[in-house]
């Protein structure tokens, strides 16, 4: 069984995004970039499927500039077998990403796609669902557990107020939530090995996919700042202030 | 232009995310219809019909719609979009699951988690965990939008719209519902609660989390939340998670206990009206957004807080 894992290079999880003074976007110059945390979880899950003998091949795909190749090397170091970079300097919207992935999937014909539920830059939470729709494959989003047997996958999903379990026929799309697993750190020997693994580069234009943006970014601004408040001396002081000053008790 | 709002409900009761989403929809158009898709959800449709400003309620029922299967929701909504220029869905886990499918089928962008409507095609939405606000203008003929309900006031009751039953789509072929386990709780739901008490990694264990956070929440009639660190460590279930990767809340009062205030947590609660932080580290970033900060170990502060609340008649 072949598993395909799309990954995205984003601002590092621990870095605070800063808005550019000209309000055209977020300043990414000289900012630490990493693999989107939900994509890491997806890679980990795919690699575990391979270690269990369920998957035979794990292919990582990224769409982005040349530097997204580094993100793919991380996926390879975690245990993916090979990688495909769809190279572009355009910033693609989720619908366009889904269309590009659908084109790649058309060539690669994986049995399962595991991807992060959302990227922490755009926070859209849309690409996996769109991809499933375009391919007419079943979807199981926000997965916290995944069990593959034969041509079926049983997926436990995080829903409001609890858990839902679905069974989907493969090929299908699973999007990873936080508790699916805890991703490994790539070991030094594996990082070295990853440098020798295949990383194919395709130009976005060669795929012939319509990636024209549908949304125009008018401006990007800082959210209104919350001013820090006061320190209270004791729990009793706190309760009295909440009661009389804030009026919330 | 006519707008369709997809109701948030549990087949028994209508959730106030729906009224809030109606408010957002009314900023786009005065022709707002509500779709209730579920199973045995007539009472929900009747409740939706009472929302002021709603023109008509559509009710579709089947097993799969009751289970909230994304494929079924998409199959139901896409044909309806012949009559609407926009569809607005509350950005719940359920809404996030099916709304992008509608967008993909219509070949339009989804505008995710809007917090403001500028005009009929321009919207504001948080990006980068709420560290930036993006104003986007859509060039698509039909708009598919999810709404961060906490950013809008609930539309009032007082309407008397008609409820019209419409047919449900066929069962999806490749997705099969196995079961659903919802946690039964007497506490209010996290995303709509007036007071939220959240615990962080400082709790150290699931037992401690339950012993410290839950009694305080119950005393205040509050919902229980947790930081991602506490969820990752297994101290609290994931649906308690407040933050970029969990729920976004904006209660009247948010009490953060033993939470340092990571960027991703602040993204989920910084729009609360009043924020209280209890943390023994005076330099914790949570104090930068807290209206009232108590620098103390929660082990002593929470029992004192319980006692002070009792003394204050709570």
Q: What is the mean pLDDT of residues A179-184?
A: 92
What residues of B are in contact with residue A169 (Cβ under 8 Å)?
173-175
Banded pLDDT at A166 (limits 50, 70, 90): very high
The tokens for B241 are: 């998670």
Mean of pLDDT over chain B = 95
Q: How far are the Cα atoms of A129, A216, B27, B106, B233 from residue B45, in angstroms, in the given order? A: 27, 36, 22, 26, 40
pLDDT at A249: 86
Q: What is the CATH number of the domain that holds A159?
A: 3.40.50.620
Most B CBs within 10 A among A12, A20, A133, hence the mutation to make, goes to A133
Sheet strand arrangement including B132-138: A215-221, B132-138, B122-127, B116-119
Report which of B110, B134, B205, B243 is spatially closest to residue A177, judged by C-alpha positions. B243
Q: How far apart are CA B190 and CA B217, in angstroms?
A: 11
Nearest CA-CA distance, residue B91 and chain A, Å: 10
The tokens for B263 are: 């960027």
Nearest to A129 among B70, B133, B292 (CB): B70
A residues 4-63 closer than 8 Å to B (CB): 11, 13-14, 16-19, 26, 37-38
Query: How far from the centroid of its chain's Cα atoms is residue A222's Cα?
Result: 24
How many domains does chain A divide into?
A: 1
DSSP per-residue string spanning A110-158: -SEEEEES--TTT----HHHHHHHHHT--EEEEEEEEEEETTEEEEEEE
Q: Can you tell me whether residue A35 is helix, strand or coil?
A: strand
A188 close to B (CB below 8 A): no
Q: How far apart are CA B198 and CA B160, in angstroms?
A: 39
Q: What is the ipTM of this complex?
A: 0.95
Q: Is A26 exposed, middle or buried (0-12, 13-18, 19+ CB in 10 A)?
A: middle
Residue of B nearest to A21 (CA): B132
Q: Can you tell me whether residue B278 is helix, strand or coil?
A: strand
Q: Over the stretch B254-274, which tens digit does the pLDDT of each residue have?
A: 999 999 999 889 989 998 999
Q: Over the stretch B184-237, which tens digit does the pLDDT of each residue have?
A: 778 888 888 999 999 999 999 999 999 999 999 999 999 999 999 999 899 998
Sign for the CA dihedral angle at B62, B66, B67, B72 comes to positive
pLDDT at A208: 95
Banded pLDDT at A228 (limits 50, 70, 90): confident
Across the A/B interface, how many CB contacts are shorter than 8 Å? 272
What's this model's pTM, rounded to 2 decimal places? Answer: 0.92
Q: Over the stretch B109-139, which tens digit does the pLDDT of each residue have?
A: 999 999 999 999 999 999 998 889 999 999 9
Contact between residue B122 and residue B136 where contact means Cβ atoms under 8 Å apart: yes
What residues of A are in contact with residue B239 (Cβ under 8 Å)?
158-162
Q: Given a cut of 90, is residue A132 above it in pLDDT?
A: yes
Q: Over the stretch A56-106, which tens digit does the pLDDT of each residue have?
A: 999 999 999 999 999 999 999 999 999 999 999 999 999 999 999 999 999
Could you list the residue range(s) of the whole structural domain that residue A91 is in?
A: 2-246
Q: Using the CB atoms, write b or e for A189-214: b if 16+ within 10 Å.
A: eeeeebeebebeebebeebebebeeb
> Under an 8 A CB cutoff, do B110 and A124 touch?
yes
What residues of B are in contact with residue A11 (Cβ under 8 Å)?
128
A111 close to B (CB below 8 A): no
Q: How far apart are CA B96 and CA B191, in angstroms?
A: 15
Q: Between β-strands B175-182 and A162-169, what pairing exists: parallel, antiparallel or unpaired?
A: antiparallel
> Under an 8 A CB cutoff, do A242 and B274 touch?
yes
Contact between residue B54 and residue B64 where contact means Cβ atoms under 8 Å apart: no
Helical H runs in A23-79? 37-51, 68-78
Q: How far apart are CA B121 and CA B98, in angstroms?
A: 22
B138: phi then psi, degrees, rounded to nearest 5: -95, 135
């Amino acid at each position: 069984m072949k598993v395909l894992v799309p990954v995205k290079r984003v601002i590092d999880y621990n870095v605070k995004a800063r808005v550019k003074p000209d309000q055209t976007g977020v300043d990414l110059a000289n900012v630490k970039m990493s693999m989107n945390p939900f994509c890491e979880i997806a890679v980990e899950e795919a690699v575990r499927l391979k270690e269990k003998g369920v998957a035979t091949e794990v292919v990582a795909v990224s769409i982005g500039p040349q530097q997204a190749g580094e993100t793919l090397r991380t996926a390879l170091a975690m245990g993916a077998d090979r990688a495909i970079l769809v190279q572009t300097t355009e910033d693609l919207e989720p619908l366009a990403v889904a269309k590009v992935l659908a084109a790649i999937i058309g060539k690669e014909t994986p049995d399962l796609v595991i991807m992060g539920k959302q990227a922490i830059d755009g926070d859209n939470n849309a690409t996996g669902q769109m991809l499933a729709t375009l391919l007419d494959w079943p979807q199981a989003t926000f997965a916290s557990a995944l069990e593959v047997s034969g041509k079926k996958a049983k997926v436990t999903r995080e829903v409001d107020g609890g858990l839902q379990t679905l069974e989907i026929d493969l090929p299908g799309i699973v999007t990873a939530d936080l508790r699916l697993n805890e991703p490994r750190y790539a070991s030094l020997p594996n990082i070295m090995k990853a440098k020798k693994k295949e990383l194919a580069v395709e130009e976005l234009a060669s795929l012939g996919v319509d990636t024209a943006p549908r949304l125009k970014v008018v401006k990007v601004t800082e959210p209104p700042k919350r001013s820090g408040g006061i320190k209270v001396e004791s729990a009793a002081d706190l309760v009295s202030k909440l009661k009389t000053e804030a009026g919330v008790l | 232009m006519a707008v369709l709002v997809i109701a948030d409900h549990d087949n028994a009761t209508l959730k106030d995310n729906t009224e809030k989403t109606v408010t957002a929809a009314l900023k786009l158009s005065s022709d707002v219809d509500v779709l209730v898709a579920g199973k045995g959800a007539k009472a929900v449709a009747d409740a939706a019909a009472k929302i002021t400003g709603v023109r008509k309620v559509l009710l579709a029922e089947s097993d799969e719609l009751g289970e909230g299967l994304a494929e079924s929701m998409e199959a139901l909504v896409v044909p309806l979009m012949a009559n609407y220029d926009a569809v607005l869905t509350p950005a719940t886990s359920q809404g996030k699951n099916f709304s992008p499918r509608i967008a993909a089928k219509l070949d339009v962008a989804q505008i995710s988690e809007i917090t403001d409507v500028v005009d009929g095609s321009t919207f504001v939405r948080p990006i980068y965990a709420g560290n930036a606000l993006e104003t986007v203008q859509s060039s698509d003929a039909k708009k598919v939008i999810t709404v961060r309900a906490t950013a809008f006031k609930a539309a009032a009751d007082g309407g008397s719209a008609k409820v019209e039953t419409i047919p449900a789509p066929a069962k999806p072929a490749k997705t099969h519902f196995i079961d659903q386990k919802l946690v039964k709780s007497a506490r209010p739901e996290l995303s709509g609660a007036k007071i939220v008490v959240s615990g962080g990694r400082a709790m150290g264990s699931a037992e401690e989390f339950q012993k410290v956070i839950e009694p305080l929440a119950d005393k205040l009639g509050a919902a229980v939340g947790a930081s991602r660190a506490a969820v990752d460590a297994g101290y609290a279930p994931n649906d308690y998670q407040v933050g970029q990767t969990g729920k976004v809340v904006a209660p009247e009062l948010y009490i953060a206990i033993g939470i340092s205030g990571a960027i991703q947590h602040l993204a989920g609660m910084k729009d609360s009206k009043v924020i209280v932080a209890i943390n023994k580290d005076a330099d914790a970033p949570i104090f930068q957004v807290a209206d009232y900060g108590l620098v103390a170990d929660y082990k002593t502060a929470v029992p004192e807080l319980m006692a002070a609340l009792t003394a204050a008649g709570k």
